[in-house]
Structure 1
Amino acid sequence: MIKIDNRVRAVFLKVLMIMAGATLSSIGLEIFLIPNDMIDGGVVGISIMASYLTHLPLGLFTFCLNLPFLLIGYKQFGKTFVISTLFAVSCLSIGVSLFHPIPSLTQDTFLAAIFGGIINGAGVGLIIRAGGSLDGTEIVAIIFDKRTSFSIGEIVMFFNIFILGIAGFLYGWDRAMYSLVAYFIAFKVIDIVVEGLDESKAVFIVSDRYAEITDALSARLGRGVTLLESQGGYSKTETMVIYIIVSRLEIAKLKSIVLGFDNDALITIGSVEVAGKKYRKKAIH
């Protein structure tokens, strides 16, 4: 019974996040970007231009143009992803239709690009966190990534540069450049929403003063610290490497602590996804 309740709760939260995300994305598009002749990237950007040229509803294009990509992605990503994405696209199609009659909150193009990018990015980020997507081009990018030497990011960027180039001919190059500003802001906001401001960072520290640094990190950051036995590849010297996971907001403090003991310490930092209770911060007294 508990397992069923947890499953129902998880599905409910997922549906709620997708609906909230689609609503935010609809607001960003219809109340900020589209009235000021700006577009988004990917399938949504193509849909905006198609709607502009044909005067048909934007929601019709966002739904229809995403369907082929969902069919392609079914075998690649599975039923859950496709259903989540189909629901997200359906919510967006309804949302842009509902918000279309509402006039833009600003006629200032720069403000529209900033706030449209922020709100749209927050919406897309919520949908991605819920396990869905609004952009079928990402599905194609992942498939092409396995068959070419280009990364997913490079393929998506190529699509979007091409789309924004077409927008330059339709709306003018100044509007295309504002669209690029909005896209860049949305991209960064998506990262923040998906990863969180408290994004985890894995840090490796190589220093002869590992004992003092370990004690200081544990005391001043309240994080668990792991010591890994290691050997220098050239010197063959036995030493210890410090391994610690912190939030990105703690990186500056960590560097200050380490370099306060050893200005020649080697610090390497990388993003990681962390699961488990052991990562939780201890109280600092």
Structure 2
Amino acid sequence: MRALAVIIGGFITAYGLEAVLIPNNVSDGGVTGLSIVGSQLTGVQLGILIALLNIPFVYLGYKQIGKSFAIYSVIGIAALAYGTTIMHHVPQIVEGDSLLVTVVGGIIIGFGMGLALRNGGALDGIDMLAVLLSRKLPFGTSDLILFLNLFVFIVVSTVFGLQGAFLSGIAYFIASKVIHMVEEGLSGSKTYKIITSEPENMVETIRDRLGRSATYNLVKGAYTNEDYKEITCIINRLEDSKMKEIIYEIDPQAFVAVYDVAEVKGGNFKKRDIH
């Protein structure tokens, strides 16, 4: 079911590109934006470039985020690449009005990308690269996504001109807000509070598979009057689906509360490979 949702997200994004943005000389951000530029310059099919340019980022996703995330990302990127191929001559649904193009295009691709992210996959490698760099540099993921896309839109300006680059930036900004609404957090972190009958096993598994440390709070049940160890762990959005898998695997009856976190700083955490 999750794989189907990721595929649908890829096709929705492809439709937004082919029916709205690209015919109006507006690009997307990230690897998709670079693929659009490459397709315009070389004549190579957009789908082929999307698939090829995302390969190293999928590998990064596998090493840094996990096998399941990489698999779902491959499925999503393949759906996006195939979708742009079969929809290449689809009729335009918006034409001429620059503002309408950016708004409609941004909403469509944002919904598609958000749907994929919500179900454990990604359609663009720039997110994965930003997550990796955020662990090496003193910047947040959202800051790095914006920074990396500045270079993308500079490249876009060489093909679509400054106006096309600005419109592309606006469409990407709108898409990012839609992703936030669909996926519940474009690049922020989440705090998990878990009360389980197997706290030690849970913490050890989270550490082994996600490379994330956790803390304990001693709490007492108001009804049972029993003492519990409440686990608190902060993860990034791309690890969310993996965290849920771990919790369900160890203790399906665990009590879990999840909070969005705007920013995380400090600590000397070193990321390990996920398996």
Match of 1:260 in 2: none
Q: CA deviation at 1:67?
A: 0.6
Correspondence 1:168 to 2:161: no
Q: Equivalent residues in 2 for 1:217-256 (5 A)?
A: none
Asked if the contact 2:34/2:156 (under 8 Å) is kept, the reply is no
Alignment counterpart, residue 113 of structure 1, candidates 102, 109, 118: 102
Alignment counterpart, residue 12 of structure 2, candidates 3, 14, 24: 24
Alignment counterpart, residue 31 of structure 2, candidates 28, 43, 47: 43
Correspondence 1:142 to 2:125: no
Correspondence 1:55 to 2:40: no
Whose radius of gyration is greater, 1 or 2?
1
Letter in 1 for 2:51: F
Counterparts of 1:149 and 1:129, CA distance in 2: 27
Q: Deviations over 1:38-70 (max 9, x none)?
A: 111111011000001001100001101111111
Q: Please give the secondary structure, in 2, of the residue aligned with 1:21.
A: helix
Q: Please give the secondary structure, in 1, of the residue aligned with 2:167.
A: helix
Match of 1:272 in 2: 259
Correspondence 1:157 to 2:146: yes
Q: Please give the secondary structure, in 1, of the residue aligned with 2:94.
A: coil
Counterparts of 2:80 and 2:21, CA distance in 1: 15
Letter in 1 for 2:126: T
Structure 1: runs of 5 or more not aligned = 1-12, 197-201, 203-270, 274-285
Counterparts of 2:139 and 2:169, CA distance in 1: 22
Match of 1:89 in 2: 77
Q: CA deviation at 1:120?
A: 0.4
Higher normalized contact order (CA 8 Å, seq sep 6+, divided by chain length)? 2
Alignment counterpart, residue 181 of structure 2, candidates 165, 170, 192: 192
Structure 2: runs of 5 or more not aligned = 186-190, 192-257, 261-275
Q: CA deviation at 1:110?
A: 2.1
Match of 2:250 in 1: none
Letter in 1 for 2:137: T
Q: Please give the secondary structure, in 2, of the residue aligned with 1:272.
A: strand
Counterparts of 1:157 and 1:143, CA distance in 2: 14
Correspondence 1:130 to 2:119: yes
Match of 2:87 in 1: 99
Counterparts of 2:168 and 2:144, CA distance in 1: 19
Asked if the contact 1:35/1:103 (under 8 Å) is kept, the reply is no
Decide which structure has greater helix share: 1
After the TM superposition, list the runs of 4 or more consecutive aligned residues in structure 1 that deviate by more than 6 angstroms. none
Q: Deviations over 1:160-183 (max 9, x none)?
A: 111111212221111111111111
Match of 2:236 in 1: none
Q: Deviations over 1:211-270 (max 9, x none)?
A: xxxxxxxxxxxxxxxxxxxxxxxxxxxxxxxxxxxxxxxxxxxxxxxxxxxxxxxxxxxx
Correspondence 1:181 to 2:156: no
Counterparts of 1:107 and 1:140, CA distance in 2: 34
Counterparts of 1:68 and 1:184, CA distance in 2: 25
Letter in 1 for 2:161: G
Counterparts of 2:161 and 2:27, CA distance in 1: 12
Q: Percent identity?
A: 38
Q: TM-score, normalization: structure 1?
A: 0.63
Q: CA deviation at 1:106?
A: 2.2
Q: Please give the secondary structure, in 2, of the residue aligned with 1:172.
A: helix
Counterparts of 1:157 and 1:19, CA distance in 2: 26
Asked if the contact 1:24/1:119 (under 8 Å) is kept, the reply is yes
Letter in 2 for 1:51: S
Aligned residue pairs, count: 188
Letter in 1 for 2:148: F
Q: Please give the secondary structure, in 2, of the residue aligned with 1:103.
A: coil
